């Protein structure tokens, strides 16, 4: 019985999955106008902010030009006075000279000080006996002790005049004597109230800010809903940015009155002055009030209209989409079926569609035994366990057999996306199997050729290994014959015969291992101890290594696990690596002309991996290592660095394939004295090893 649909409801409830989807569409359509209205409102608000910044920029630029035009004639007057100043003139003469200047009404006074900062004369009154010391004032100190030739116009903070008794900003330039030395300061006092009154008249809203500031961060004049001067804004982010960039946008809450404003700051290119104009954000937002009311009312009406349209046509559109989806899915299934049918026609390929009810051939039924064996495999518990939680295509190699026919198959299992599971809880999959029996046979032939080549290379050592017990047997037999002729006691003959038996057992072991090693590999993987493979490999090549004065050291870690492998193939890999290490040592001796002791170190151990324990067998030599350009190609078939006649180029390639087919990896790197080859194989846990047996 199929599982109930969690989204289905009794008919009396009046809605189902389609109704829910339609309701979601209705909600979406109703929300779209509101979202669009929100976006338009945000865009309009941003536009109003940009318009306010543009207006502030224009206003600040005009005010800066106005200030510069007001200061330029005063600066010209100061420069004219400084250029014609006579330091020997009496204070009264200077007073008369200052009175004769035609100055604007906003200029409160002109004054001159000597080099010590003491006032010499002022345009407000004739010189008197009292001396007014101005050396403590910033606009005087800024010129004292400096090169007057480099003196620029200085504009001071607002100060209360000691003679004029008014708050003014001081415009000053240095005076020089006949030798070009500093001789005093000429001062023009400008009424700060003129700037403040002018700025107050320009303001269009209570929160608007118009400020005249020096580059020292002190406000010369500041007009908001309250007027002020002398405020320190040097820590304001807008002021810091304007100083760094030569002007810029003003977006911040004021550090003086806390009002948030947007505007612009302009910096003078002639004088150390900045002008800021900024509007309160409340004023800017108020400009969008009418637009806000219009856009939200329009959005609400549009939402209602769209909801009505969707409610009328929703069912029809939903049905149309469902039919279109079914048509697209049917076309896709047809294309997939045609592709799989074409694949199934390739010789040695079988394609099946597997459902909880069984397996069905796709396309033409496969010829030969592959289809029958594959069908049996697809009905097995092993396969059902494999596909139980399959979420993506999986590649496996399987040995299929019915007791009479054996096939090596390469299989790809791919889940069919979007298909509901059947009552057995198994999903539908497509299985593509390729008969790799012929390729496996060719690989086995190649493995066999490599083993026979290895036996050929160690033939001299094996002959020496067998010749030794033969010599012992001949000597023992001769001694026994002599003892019999001399009538020696039976014990002498028994000891000689025992020795002959021992040597024949030794020869039998060597010959048996050669016979086992040289025969074809078993097709099935069996649990095997890696130490047995190492011992068998050294039994084959040990004599050859001793003849070449190469020592073999073997170390092993604790708890060496078994691996699932063909032991003779693992021995073949170790023999190939040991022989290559021996060849590298011999070649290094020939190149260097030194008969150094050769050393091959085999270490066997295990450590945790990503998916379980991993067995590692390392073969390290002192043969000098492998060049970097060679190391990248060393596992390629028929690639060898040995002279012609001394290498086939198959050893490492075959070894790489053997380890890969066992689910492991073979890698190489250069160590301290030579090359280091590492074999990695997945270890068999004790429970797995028991089941495999």
Average pLDDT score, the chain: 78
Q: 446-692 has which CATH code?
A: 3.30.565.10
Tokens of 93: 């003469």
**H or E stretch covering 406:** strand 406-415
pLDDT at 543: 74
Q: Can you say whether the dihedral through the CA atoms of 165, 166, 170, 172 is positive or negative?
A: negative
Q: What is the mean pLDDT of residues 357-378?
A: 74
Pairing of the two strands 526-528 and 613-621: unpaired
Which DSSP string do the residues of 245-312 spell out, in sequence order? HTEEEEEEE-TTT--EEEEEEEE-SSSSEEEEEEEEHHHHHHTTHHHHHHHHHHHHHHHHHHHHHHHH
Residue 151 pLDDT exceeds 60:
yes
User: What pLDDT is attached to residue 455?
Assistant: 55
> pLDDT tens digit string along 662-676?
888 999 999 988 999
How confident is the model at residue 601, as a pLDDT?
94
Lowest mean per-residue pLDDT among 72-76, 239-243, 417-421, 505-509? 417-421
**What integer pLDDT is reported at residue 314 of this predicted model?**
62
Instruction: Give tens-digit pLDDT for 253-265.
Output: 888 888 888 999 9
Q: What is the pLDDT of residues 89-120, one digit of tens each?
A: 888 988 888 888 888 888 889 999 998 989 98
First-to-last C-alpha distance (Å) of the chain: 41
Q: Tell me the per-residue pLDDT of 485-496, one tens digit each, with 9 for 90 and over.
A: 777 788 877 777
Does the pLDDT value for residue 690 go beyond 60? Answer: no
Comparison of pLDDT for 424 and 599, the residue scoring more: 599
According to DSSP, the residues that pair with 606 across neighbouring strands are 615
Residue-wise pLDDT for 288-339, tens only, equals 777 777 777 776 777 777 666 666 666 666 677 777 777 777 776 667 666 6
Domain ranges within the chain, ordered by starting residue:
52-285, 345-434, 446-692
- pLDDT of the residue at 7: 37
Q: pLDDT class for 504, splitting at 50, 70, 90?
A: confident
* pLDDT above 80: residue 578: yes
Pairing of strands 394-401, 358-361: unpaired
* pLDDT of amino acid 680: 93
DSSP reduced 3-state for 218: strand
Q: What percent of the chain has pLDDT over 90?
A: 10
Which residue, chain included where needed, has tokens 């100190």?
141
Choice among 22-31, 153-162, 561-570 with the minimum mean pLDDT:
22-31
One-character DSSP codes across 655-683:
HHHHHHHTT-EEEEEE-SSSEEEEEEEEE
pLDDT of 371 over the 80 cut: no
Q: How high is the pLDDT of residue 11?
A: 43
What does the pLDDT look like over 587-621, one tens digit per residue?
Answer: 999 888 888 999 999 999 998 887 788 999 999 99
Nearest to 576 by CA among 671, 652, 659, 658: 652
What is the pLDDT at residue 187? 93
pLDDT for res 306: 66
Q: Give tens-digit pLDDT for 28-62.
A: 666 777 777 777 777 877 888 888 889 889 988 98
Is 397 a residue whose pLDDT tops 70? Answer: yes
- Cα–Cα dist 51/285, whole Å: 12
- The helix or strand, by DSSP H or E, that contains position 690, with its residue range, turns out to be helix 686-692
Superfamily of domain 52-285: PAS domain (3.30.450.20)
What is the reported pLDDT for 144? Answer: 87
d(CA 499, CA 468) in angstroms, rounded, equals 13
Q: Of the ranges 96-100, 497-501, 524-528, 573-577, which one carries the lowest mean pLDDT score?
A: 497-501
For 425-493, the DSSP string reads SPPPEEEEEEE-HHHHHHHHHHHHHHHHHHHHHTHHHHHHHHHHHHHHHHHHHHHHHHHHHHT--HHHH
């Amino acid at each position: 019985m199929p599982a109930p649909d969690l989204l289905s409801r009794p008919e009396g409830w009046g809605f189902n999955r389609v109704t829910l989807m339609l309701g979601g569409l209705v909600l979406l359509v109703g929300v779209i106008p509101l979202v669009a209205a929100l976006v338009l409102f945000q865009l309009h608000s941003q536009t109003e902010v940009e318009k306010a910044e543009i207006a502030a920029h224009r206003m600040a630029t005009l005010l800066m030009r106005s200030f510069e035009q007001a200061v330029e004639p005063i600066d010209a007057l100061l420069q004219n006075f400084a250029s014609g100043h006579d330091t020997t003139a009496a204070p009264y003469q200077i007073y008369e000279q200052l009175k004769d200047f035609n100055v604007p009404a906003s200029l409160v006074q002109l004054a001159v000080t000597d080099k010590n900062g003491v006032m010499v004369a002022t345009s407000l009154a004739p010189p008197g006996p009292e001396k007014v010391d101005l050396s403590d004032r910033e606009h005087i100190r800024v010129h004292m002790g400096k090169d007057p030739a480099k003196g620029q116009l200085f504009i001071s903070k607002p100060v209360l005049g000691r003679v004029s008794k008014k708050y003014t900003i001081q415009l000053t330039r240095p005076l020089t004597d006949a030798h070009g030395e500093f001789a005093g300061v000429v001062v023009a006092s400008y009424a700060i109230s003129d700037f403040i009154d002018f700025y107050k008249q320009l303001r269009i809203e209570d929160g608007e800010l118009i400020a005249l500031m020096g580059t020292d961060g002190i406000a010369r004049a500041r007009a908001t809903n309250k007027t002020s001067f002398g405020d320190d804004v040097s820590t304001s982010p807008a002021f810091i940015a304007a100083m760094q960039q030569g002007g810029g946008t003003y977006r911040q809450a004021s550090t003086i009155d806390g009002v948030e404003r947007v505007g612009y700051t302009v910096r003078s290119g002639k004088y150390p002055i900045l002008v800021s104009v900024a509007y309160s954000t409340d004023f800017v937002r108020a400009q969008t009030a009418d637009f806000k009311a219009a856009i939200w009312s329009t959005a609400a009406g549009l939402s209602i209209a769209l909801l009505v349209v969707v409610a009328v046509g929703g069912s029809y559109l939903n049905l149309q989409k469902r039919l279109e989806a079914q048509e697209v899915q049917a076309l896709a299934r047809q294309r997939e079926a045609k592709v799989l049918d074409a694949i199934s026609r390739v010789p040695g390929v079988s394609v099946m569609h597997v459902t909880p009810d069984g397996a069905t051939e796709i396309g033409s039924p496969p010829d030969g035994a592959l289809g029958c064996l594959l069908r049996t495999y697809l009905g097995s518990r092993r396969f059902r366990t494999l596909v139980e939680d399959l979420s993506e295509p999986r590649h496996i190699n399987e040995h299929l057999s019915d007791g009479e026919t054996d096939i090596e198959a390469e299989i790809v299992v791919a889940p069919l996306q979007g298909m509901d599971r059947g009552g057995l809880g198994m999903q539908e999959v497509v299985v593509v199997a390729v008969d790799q029996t012929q390729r496996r046979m060719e690989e086995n032939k190649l493995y066999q050729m490599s083993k026979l080549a290895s036996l050929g290379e160690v033939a001299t050592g094996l002959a020496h290994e067998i010749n030794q017990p033969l010599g012992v047997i001949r000597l023992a037999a001769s001694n026994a014959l002599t003892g019999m002729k001399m009538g020696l006691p039976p014990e002498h003959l028994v000891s000689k015969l025992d020795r002959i038996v021992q040597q024949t057992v030794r020869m039998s072991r060597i010959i048996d291992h050669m016979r086992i090693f040289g025969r074809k590999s078993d097709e099935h993987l069996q649990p095997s101890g890696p130490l047995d493979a190492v011992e068998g490999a050294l039994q084959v090549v040990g004599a050859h290594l001793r003849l070449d004065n190469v020592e073999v050291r073997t170390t092993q870690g604790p708890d060496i696990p078994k691996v699932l492998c063909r032991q003779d193939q693992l021995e073949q890999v170790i023999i190939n690596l040991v022989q290559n290490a021996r060849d590298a040592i011999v070649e290094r001796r020939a190149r260097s002309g030194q008969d150094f002791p050769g050393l091959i170190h085999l270490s066997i151990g295990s450590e945790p991996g990503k998916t379980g324990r991993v067995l590692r067998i390392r073969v390290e030599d002192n043969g000098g290592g492998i060049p970097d350009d060679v190391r990248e190609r060393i596992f390629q078939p028929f690639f060898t660095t040995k002279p012609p006649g001394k290498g086939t180029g198959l050893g490492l390639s075959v070894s790489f394939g053997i380890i890969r087919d066992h689910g492991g990896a073979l890698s190489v790197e250069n160590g301290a004295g030579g090359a280091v080859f590492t074999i990695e194989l997945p270890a068999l846990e004790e429970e797995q090893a028991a089941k495999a047996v």
